[in-house]
Chain A
Amino acid sequence: MTIRFSVNGEERSVEADESMPLLWALRDLLGLRGAKYGCGIAACGVCTVHLDGSAVRSCVLPLSAVEGKRVTTVEGLGGNHPLQRAWVDEQVPQCGYCQPGQIMQAAALLASNPNPTREQVREAMNSVLCRCGTYLRIESAVRRAAEVMRNKEASHD
């Protein structure tokens, strides 16, 4: 069947079984390979994308739940997002496989909480696994990006 939704600001449609998780539609049908397959059971978070602005595990989210909604993937951040810059500044990634999921999880956190405490960052980021062990740098990068975004916000006021 045809399922329509917006991806990174563009209207897209896919011909697929509505039970297909969003992850596979993004990767195999829409050519967006930033989100990764890790566990298939929403336990590792490397497939994290946004659905109407909230972080979701795309490996278990059926297309039927995506119809008509807004999906944002790491490709949709544009490459120069404060989080992406902070990830470079803090030299976060090692292998990098989980990092698109980490960045999307962080983006959802900062959208809802522009000034998270250290504990809030650790709690919010707890759902995305990193086997290389980049957690401390992720924490620093999230807080750095939050500060940049707050300053930018303030200068617009």
Chain B
Amino acid sequence: MPLLRIPSRRRLGPRHEQGSLLLEVSVAMGFTALLALMVMKASLLALSNNQWTIMQTLTDAYLTRETALSNRVPLADLTGATSQWPDATADDPPKLQQPVTLGKLVNGKTVEATLTRFRVNETPVPDADTGIAVWRLHSVLAYQVGEKQYVKSRSTLRMQ
């Protein structure tokens, strides 16, 4: 009875050895490809999130100016013929639409959007005889993130 039997490579069988490298390589390549795809997907997701955040920063900043301006504009100008917030029901055109520059991205690329302004008479009917006119000034900003278009708005109540 043999005390020590060292199994040789031949004893494992030639059929088992043949092609094992190819199998291991295929598995390794598969894992690498999977890892690459996962990393790429995570990076693209982070990139789109960043793009979204940047657009929120720029649009929020632009709308702080719109809010300030809508609070500041004199009522005589607001209800005048050349109002920056036309009356949506009475004026022609009923709204003011113009392209605006929101700001600049990294490396100075400008970001554009479309601003729409209009005002709506919100004077309560029972108070009509008091001579008080209440206007709601709407500023609507339409912007694009990737392929999709989004809209953000602010409104200000002014009383005359």
Asked if A and B bind, the verdict is: no
Chain A residues engaging chain B, CB cutoff 8 angstroms: none
